[in-house]
């Protein structure tokens, strides 16, 4: 047996209860953390397994931290990922009901036009969903309403949802609804309608820090500030007990607003909603533009993120410290998932529609509602796992691949390294996880 | 003799008393007891490198089984492909290979079952049984006798799923007799080996006994009358304490069988008399059987239709809605009566 290459380990720390130096070890193949004594770790690293008790060795073999000498770990992992994608029994559809957004965020790469999805295209959306549901047995139909700003296309959501619900019922699959919104028009009335009539069970709102930071970058196209309205909408929704919805707040961060994260965390905690929302911070990335030029470096972001996590834990949030197995990197590799934009164009990525830089026709388009899917087009992003296997990206040597999946096929293709923050701060995340477990 | 009305009342009180008690999940019932004993036997026989490979395979296999249970069959097959690669790798002894293979075949059978290939599922169960026989006979792994019974339980489930209820019940009766120590009752002559289940720890035998009667309970559902009598015929010797010399070894389970037989025959008073004590003692180690008894009582209340019956029905209904991890067969019984 050998030590799996897919592992992370915390720095050594003194366990005050036992007076022994220990480490948290995290085999990423199974994403299950364990605490081991420092001496055990040193022996494991040295490969001198015969010096360790049998029980420890057996547990580590069960966790896939120890693997057979002849194991080709990358091949195994990619085969597992492919199997998970083929097995996926969730039909995931992303719909952009409109090409319009009220905001003019500086980092957005989209070009917005006041275009709503036509009635003809809506019919075609339902027909495509029906064909897909007929083709193989699914358990769920998951609808993600995405923008531009999806709530600017509420009319389309209202007319399409009943048809999609009917389909779900007809095929005996559960229906899941999600909306990713800027939150500007997420009034109490709209939220009620989303949850009760449009069967939305997950809402994600983006807030880029406190007013000072948010309003400097997330203003309307007419230049008006938006923080106050969005914030009040979110607080109001989080406090409601009459609607059952998972509410997530995402804070997009770069060099210009990272100092606004801590005050925002404090504000949300002061509002008493820390146990009613999920909150996470995401680095700004290229959206077909040079937005990433303003990003913090990976190392800088990773350091800040640990500080934000610690603040969140102290204030009663429950941040997701350790990544989970991610066999399906994104819907680009799911053979039946797709995004339909308001023009009726089809994509297998959320980051490419309405982006002028990708040309007309859009180089990432995989077809259209009217003509159907163009054979071979999906593979541009969909053959990501094969590309990793061929060694085209750094992922093939990365210990984090099992829990990251490769992060973003599109960015890799554009020559941008999209590695997620756990790659740069997993050691401290493990320490924090240990500290958190001691707190509870 | 107590009146039917008063027995109803007592049964309802028993239900209320029994439900206060927490179910017991013993190490034997969770499979941990079996795993520990097998591990102990392996540790004294295989070199550590082989033990580690076997454990590595077991981890992959158990994740594959979880995937299969969720209907992710390609992932399950991928897991089995990986464990096959492990057992085919150089340097593993024949013994270690067999040890990995028997459990692989059992999970493989389940994957086939989920794909509705029952013939293939059966073949793989037989293959696992043959390997178990070899491991017991040639290498002394007595504990695997229990794995053979588990495989028999899997055959029973396949039969039931294919609608062969009488065959499934016959398999059930034979396995119960075997667990009571009657080796002659081993149901599959072609896989007969010289072994004696009485050498196995009694708590493991009991857990397996309860598990198999639980499967019978799900098969029978709420059936009554001739059809149920035909299915139950093979079990009757157990009800009548003449199946084996140790027939009342697992007394509480036998009491459940007696109650079920009365229920099937529509004998209200004997049924109530049997379940009063059963319900009052709480679920203990036989949660599923206790729940089935409560659901049978509930069905009877519905049929009786008296005021008292209606009250009992409401009270049991209220309780049943809070149950978690209810097998779909039992859940269907509950929802059916609700619809009525």
Exposed (0-12), middle (13-18) or buried (19+): which is A278, by Cβ within 10 Å? middle
Which chain A residue is nearest to residue B77, measuring alpha carbons? A83
Contact A317, A279 (CB under 8 A): yes
The CA distance from B330 to the nearest CA of chain A, in Å, is: 21
d(CA B103, CA B106) in angstroms, rounded, equals 5
d(CA B79, CA B108) in angstroms, rounded, equals 10
CB distance B48–A63 less than 8 Å?
no
pLDDT for the residue B307: 64
Element counts in chain B: helices (H) and strands (E): 17, 0
Contact B177, B203 (CB under 8 A): no
pTM: 0.91
Q: What are the residues whose beta carbons fall under 8 Å from the beta carbon of A307, sequence distance 6 or more?
A: A262
Look at residue B339 and tell me whether its pLDDT is greater than 70.
Answer: no
d(CA A11, CA A110) in angstroms, rounded, equals 42
The CA distance from A238 to the nearest CA of chain B, in Å, is: 28
Contact B197, B184 (CB under 8 A): no
Cα(first)–Cα(last) distance of chain A, in Å? 36
What mean pLDDT is predicted for residues A174-197?
97
pLDDT for the residue B338: 45
pLDDT for the residue B2: 65
pLDDT for the residue B308: 64
Look at residue A162 and tell me whether its pLDDT is greater than 70.
Answer: yes
Mark out chain B residues that contact chain A at CB-CB < 8 A.
Answer: 39, 43, 48-49, 51-53, 55-56, 58-60, 63, 67, 71-75, 77-78, 81-82, 86, 89-90
Q: How do the domains of chain A map onto residue ranges?
A: 2-71
Parallel, antiparallel or unpaired: strands A246-253 and A277-283: parallel
CB distance B52–A61 less than 8 Å?
yes
Structure tokens at A131: 């064909």
CB distance A83–B75 less than 8 Å?
yes
Among B55, B75, B89, whose Cβ lies nearest the Cβ of A87? Answer: B75
Q: Which residue has the tokens 């339902």?
A: A126
Contact A245, A200 (CB under 8 A): yes
Parallel, antiparallel or unpaired: strands A202-206 and A246-253: parallel
3-class secondary-structure state, position B223: coil
CB distance A61–B53 less than 8 Å?
yes
CB distance A70–B89 less than 8 Å?
yes
Q: Enumerate the residues of chain B whose CB falls inside 8 A of the CB of residue A63.
A: 59
Q: Which of A390, A337, A386 is nearest to A366 (CA)?
A: A337
**Per-residue pLDDT tens over the stretch A410-427:** 999 999 999 999 999 999
Which chain A residue is nearest to residue B51, measuring alpha carbons? A58
pLDDT for the residue B210: 96
What mean pLDDT is predicted for residues A81-110?
94
CB distance A62–B58 less than 8 Å?
yes
Look at residue A217 and tell me whether its pLDDT is greater than 60.
Answer: yes
Among A57, A62, A63, whose Cβ lies nearest the Cβ of B48? Answer: A57
**Per-residue pLDDT tens over the stretch A230-289:** 999 999 999 999 999 999 999 999 999 999 999 999 999 999 999 999 999 999 987 777
d(CA A43, CA A45) in angstroms, rounded, equals 5
Question: What share of chain B in percent tops pLDDT 70?
Answer: 96
Which residues make beta-bridge pairs with A176? Answer: A142
**Biggest CA-to-CA distance, chain A:** 70
Look at residue B319 and tell me whether its pLDDT is greater than 80.
Answer: yes
**Per-residue pLDDT tens over the stretch A189-202:** 999 999 999 999 99
Contact A139, A173 (CB under 8 A): yes
**Per-residue pLDDT tens over the stretch A118-141:** 999 999 999 999 999 999 999 999
Look at residue B340 and tell me whether its pLDDT is greater than 70.
Answer: no
**Per-residue pLDDT tens over the stretch B248-305:** 788 899 999 999 999 999 999 999 999 999 999 999 999 999 999 999 998 888 777 6
Preceding omega of A148 cis (within 30 degrees of 0): yes
Contact B173, B247 (CB under 8 A): no
**Per-residue pLDDT tens over the stretch B129-166:** 999 999 999 999 999 999 999 999 999 999 999 999 99
3-class secondary-structure state, position A100: coil
Distances (CA, A) of B23 to A88, B144, B282, B284, B292: 36, 27, 7, 5, 14
What is the average pLDDT score of chain A? 95
Contact B92, B121 (CB under 8 A): no
């Amino acid at each position: 047996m050998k030590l799996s290459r897919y592992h992370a380990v915390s720095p050594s720390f003194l366990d005050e209860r036992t007076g022994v130096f220990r480490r948290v070890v995290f085999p990423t193949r199974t994403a299950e953390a364990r605490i081991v004594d420092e001496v055990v770790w040193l022996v494991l690293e040295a490969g001198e397994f015969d010096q360790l008790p049998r029980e420890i060795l057996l547990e580590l073999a069960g966790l896939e931290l120890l693997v057979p000498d002849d194991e080709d770990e990358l091949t195994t992992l990619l085969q597992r990922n492919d199997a998970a994608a083929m097995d996926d029994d969730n039909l995931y559809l992303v719909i952009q009901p409109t090409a319009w957004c009220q905001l003019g965020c500086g980092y957005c790469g989209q070009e917005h036009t006041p275009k709503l999805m036509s009635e003809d295209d809506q019919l075609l959306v339902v027909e495509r969903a029906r064909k897909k549901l007929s083709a193989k047995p699914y358990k769920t139909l998951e609808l993600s309403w995405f923008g531009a700003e999806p709530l600017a296309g509420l009319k389309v959501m209202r007319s399409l949802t009943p048809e999609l619900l009917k389909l779900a019922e007809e095929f005996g699959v559960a229906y899941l609804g999600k909306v990713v919104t800027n939150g500007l028009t997420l009034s109490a009335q709209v939220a009620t309608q989303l949850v009760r009539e449009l069967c939305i069970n997950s809402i994600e709102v983006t807030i880029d820090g406190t007013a000072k930071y948010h309003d400097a970058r997330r203003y309307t196209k007419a230049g008006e500030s938006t923080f106050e309205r969005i914030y009040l909408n979110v607080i109001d929704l989080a406090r409601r007990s009459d609607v059952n919805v998972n509410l997530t707040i995402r804070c997009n961060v770069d060099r210009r607003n990272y100092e606004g994260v801590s005050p925002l965390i404090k504000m949300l905690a002061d509002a008493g909603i820390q146990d009613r929302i999920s909150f996470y911070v995401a680095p700004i990335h290229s959206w077909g533009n040079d937005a990433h030029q303003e990003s913090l470096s990976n190392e800088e972001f990773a350091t800040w993120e640990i500080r934000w996590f610690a603040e969140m834990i102290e204030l009663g949030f429950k941040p997701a410290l350790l990544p989970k197995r991610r066999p399906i990197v994104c819907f680009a590799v799911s053979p039946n998932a797709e995004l339909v934009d308001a023009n009726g164009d089809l994509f297998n990525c959320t980051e490419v529609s309405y982006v002028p830089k990708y040309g007309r026709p859009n180089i990432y388009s995989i077809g259209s509602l009217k003509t159907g899917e163009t054979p071979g087009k999906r593979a541009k992003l969909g053959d990501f796992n094969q590309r990793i296997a061929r060694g085209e990206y750094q992922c093939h040597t990365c210990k984090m691949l099992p829990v990251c999946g490769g992060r973003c096929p599109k960015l890799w293709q554009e020559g941008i390294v999209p590695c997620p923050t756990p790659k740069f701060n997993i050691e401290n995340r493990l320490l924090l996880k240990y500290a958190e477990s001691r707190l509870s | 003799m107590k009146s039917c009305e008063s027995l109803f009342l007592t049964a309802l009180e028993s239900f209320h008393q029994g439900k206060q008690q927490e179910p017991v999940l013993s190490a034997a019932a969770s499979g941990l007891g079996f795993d520990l004993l097998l591990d102990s036997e392996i540790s004294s026989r295989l070199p550590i490198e082989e033990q580690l490979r076997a454990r590595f395979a077991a981890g992959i296999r158990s994740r594959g089984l979880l995937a299969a249970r969720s209907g992710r069959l390609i992932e399950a097959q991928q897991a089995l492909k990986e464990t096959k690669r492990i057992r085919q790798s150089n340097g593993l002894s024949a013994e270690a290979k067999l040890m990995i293979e028997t459990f692989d075949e059992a999970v493989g059978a389940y994957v086939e079952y989920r794909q509705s290939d029952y013939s293939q599922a059966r073949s793989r169960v037989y293959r696992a049984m043959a390997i178990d026989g070899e491991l017991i006979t040639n290498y002394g792994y007595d504990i695997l006798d229990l794995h053979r019974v588990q495989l028999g339980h899997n055959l029973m489930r396949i039969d039931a799923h294919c609608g062969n209820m009488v065959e499934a019940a016959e398999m059930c009766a034979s396995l119960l007799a075997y667990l009571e120590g009657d080796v002659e009752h081993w149901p599959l002559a072609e896989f007969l080996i010289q072994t004696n289940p009485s050498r196995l720890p009694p708590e493991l035998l009991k857990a397996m006994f309860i598990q198999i009667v639980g499967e019978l309970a799900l098969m029978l559902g709420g059936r009554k009358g001739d059809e149920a009598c035909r299915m139950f015929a093979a079990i009757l010797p157990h009800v009548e304490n003449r199946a084996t010399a140790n027939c009342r070894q697992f007394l509480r389970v036998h009491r459940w069988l007696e109650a079920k037989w009365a229920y099937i025959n529509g004998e209200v008073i004997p049924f109530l008399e049997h379940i009063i004590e059963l319900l009052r003692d709480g679920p203990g180690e036989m949660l599923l059987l206790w729940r089935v008894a409560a659901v049978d009582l509930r069905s009877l209340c519905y049929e009786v239709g008296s005021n008292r019956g209606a009250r009992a029905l409401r009270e049991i209904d209220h309780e049943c809605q809070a149950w978690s991890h209810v097998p779909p067969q039992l859940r269907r019984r509950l929802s059916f009566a609700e619809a009525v």
